[in-house]
């Protein structure tokens, strides 16, 4: 785990970068923290503004990254609640940006979404100081709205499209998490190909790897099936729970334990549904857990679950948990989504979306074929090491910054195993 450091900030040496994120805090947001480490290693002076986490301080310096935080505020899951939350977050971020700017102007401002609301702040800093704007494209906010509020207000969705377009049009460069998002930036955002760079959210292959198997995580059963990630309306954990009920009660399998790790809007409802289905002895829902627990569970697990249903958002989104399972050498059971196939390829079994019984049967089929599990796990781990890990993404990310500021191209040296501070295991989608 990353420990908090309240040491004084050293004097700025390289170009100053401000990174804004609203939906998670650092270093819990794995992608953003790896980006921070990459920039620091290349000589940039990095400041982050984000919501405050359980262990965060209002201001601290973590591994040479200055982190300003504000108290999170989430008035509820309704659409109006998001409007209030985002207005509050924008004002809190603007206040901290003005405070952080006292040390000097920022050469680059990077805003991460969701939401797509920080372009006015980036525009103001551009007019005042000449700051360049990098949009780190994590999510498709209009599609996210569709998945959370099916049949929701057309006016609200149109507003999200306008905010997205304004963000694209304000940005000097966009870093997209996959090719599908890059196409949106060009087709819906009107950007040229040379303004968009694909920088995948690659796992840290040195840190995320299978360790010794501790049978205690299986809770007295022969097999363990795991989920790691957010538990929101669009994440399909309710489908995974229904599949567990099918496996335990309808198929009569008493040799499989389930551990679903993570938090979110639906966690309390899932706990209640587990009790209603009589699965307390088989399904564990511990919420967000320490890194050691994640590593222990995934090292002891037989299968990793990606139950995200097919919808306009999930189909084109890269799920971090998919690659984290692969890093631990786990075969994946997923619904047949376009970008999940791009990430996992032959390391996953694909089921038509929404078919709970087929999903349950796919899990059992893998559990009962250990040789297939082992081969799929090997394929997945190999793909992480050769293609997907952050070590293969960070050069493209750094090139965006160096290109914007006219700095000489620098080839990053491979990071030694265990170098720097690793981000927590997040499993976010």
Domains of the chain (ranges; CATH) run: 16-201+393-405 (3.40.50.2000), 215-386 (3.40.50.2000)
* Whole-number Å distance between alpha carbons of 103 and 13: 12
Residues 6+ apart with CB under 8 A from 131: 18, 105, 106, 107, 108, 109, 122, 125
Instruction: Output the CA–CA distances (angstroms, integers) from residue 230 to 37, 85, 267, 317, 428, in the order listed.
Output: 24, 19, 9, 14, 6
**Tokens representing residue 372 in the block:** 């297939």
Q: Where are the alpha helices (DSSP H) in 26-153?
A: 30-41, 79-100, 119-129, 141-148
Residue 29 C-alpha from the chain's centroid: 7
**Tokens representing residue 196 in the block:** 């968009």
Task: Report the candidate in 208, 206, 182, 204 with the shortest Cα–Cα distance to residue 195.
Answer: 182
- Residue 185 has what pLDDT? 98
CB atoms within 10 A of CB 373: 18
Backbone angles phi, psi at 257, to 5 degrees: -105, 155
Query: What H or E segment, with its residue span, contains residue 312?
Result: none
- Residue 178 has what pLDDT? 96
Instruction: Output the CA–CA distances (angstroms, integers) from residue 342 to 56, 169, 184, 347, in the order listed.
Output: 35, 28, 17, 11
Let me know: does 147 contact 311? Beta carbons within 8 Å.
Answer: yes
Per-residue pLDDT of the chain (429 residues; tens, 9 = 90+): 344 454 455 545 799 999 999 988 999 898 999 999 999 999 999 999 999 988 899 999 999 999 999 999 877 656 678 889 999 999 999 999 999 999 999 999 999 999 999 999 999 999 999 999 999 999 999 998 888 888 888 999 999 999 999 999 999 999 999 999 999 999 999 999 999 999 999 888 988 999 999 999 999 999 999 999 989 888 999 999 999 999 999 999 999 999 999 998 899 999 999 999 999 999 999 998 988 999 999 999 999 999 999 998 999 999 999 999 999 999 999 999 999 999 999 999 999 998 999 999 999 999 999 999 999 999 999 999 999 999 999 999 999 999 999 987 666 655 544 444 444 454 445
* Whole-number Å distance between alpha carbons of 413 and 419: 12
Let me know: does 25 contact 51? Beta carbons within 8 Å.
Answer: yes
The β-bridge partners of 353 are: none
- Residue whose structure tokens are 């977050």: 89
Question: Helix-strand-coil percent breakdown of the chain, rounded to 5?
Answer: 45, 15, 40
- Residue whose structure tokens are 């310096």: 61
- Residue whose structure tokens are 């450091």: 5
Task: Report the candidate in 320, 301, 317 with the shortest Cα–Cα distance to residue 377.
Answer: 301
* Whole-number Å distance between alpha carbons of 7 and 128: 30
What is the secondary structure of 159-194 as a DSSP string?
HHHHHHHHHHHH-SEEEESSHHHHHHHHHTT---GG
- Residue 79 has what pLDDT? 67
Backbone angles phi, psi at 111, to 5 degrees: -110, 135
pTM: 0.86
The β-bridge partners of 303 are: 225
**Tokens representing residue 62 in the block:** 């973590």
């Amino acid at each position: 785990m990353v420990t908090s450091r309240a040491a004084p900030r050293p004097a700025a040496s390289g170009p100053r970068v401000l990174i804004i994120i609203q939906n998670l805090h650092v270093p819990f947001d794995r992608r953003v923290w790896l980006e921070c480490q990459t920039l620091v290693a290349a000589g940039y002076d990095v400041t982050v503004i984000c919501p405050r986490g359980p262990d965060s301080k209002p201001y601290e310096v973590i591994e040479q990254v200055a982190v300003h935080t504000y108290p999170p505020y989430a008035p509820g899951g309704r659409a109006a609640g998001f409007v209030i939350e985002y207005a509050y977050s924008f004002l809190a971020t603007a206040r901290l940006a003005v405070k952080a700017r006292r040390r000097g102007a920022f050469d680059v401002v990077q805003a991460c979404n969701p939401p797509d609301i920080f372009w006015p702040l980036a525009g103001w800093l551009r007019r005042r100081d000449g700051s360049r704007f990098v949009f780190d494209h994590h999510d498709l906010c209009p599609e996210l709205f569709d998945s959370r509020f099916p049949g929701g207000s057309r006016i609200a969705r149109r507003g999200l499209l306008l905010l997205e377009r304004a963000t694209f049009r304000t940005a000097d460069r966009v870093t997209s998490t996959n090719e599908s998002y890059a196409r949106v930036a060009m087709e819906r955002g009107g950007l040229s190909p040379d303004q968009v760079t694909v920088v995948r959210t690659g796992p840290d292959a040195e840190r995320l790897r299978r360790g010794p198997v501790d049978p205690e995580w299986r809770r007295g059963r022969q097999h363990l099936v795991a989920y790691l990630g957010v538990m929101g309306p669009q994440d399909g954990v309710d489908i995974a729970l229904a599949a567990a009920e099918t496996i335990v009660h309808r198929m009569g399998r008493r040799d499989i334990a389930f551990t679903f790790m993570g938090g979110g809007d639906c966690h309390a409802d899932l706990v209640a549904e587990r009790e209603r289905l009589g699965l307390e002895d088989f399904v564990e829902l511990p919420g967000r857990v320490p890194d050691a627990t994640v590593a222990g569970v995934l090292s002891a697990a037989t299968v990793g679950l990606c139950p995200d249903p097919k919808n306009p958002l999930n189909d084109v989104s890269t799920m971090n948990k998919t690659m984290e399972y692969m890093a631990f050498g786990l075969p994946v059971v997923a619904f047949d989504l376009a970008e999940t196939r791009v990430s996992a390829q032959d390391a996953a079994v694909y089921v038509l979306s929404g078919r709970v019984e087929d999903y349950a049967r796919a899990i059992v089929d893998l559990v009962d074929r250990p040789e297939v599990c082992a081969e799929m796990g090997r394929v997945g781990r190999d793909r992480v090491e050769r293609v997907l890990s952050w070590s293969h993404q960070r050069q493209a990310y750094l090139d965006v910054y160096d290109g914007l500021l006219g700095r000489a191209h620098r080839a990053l040296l491979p990071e030694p195993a265990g170098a720097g501070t690793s981000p927590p295991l997040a499993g976010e989608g």
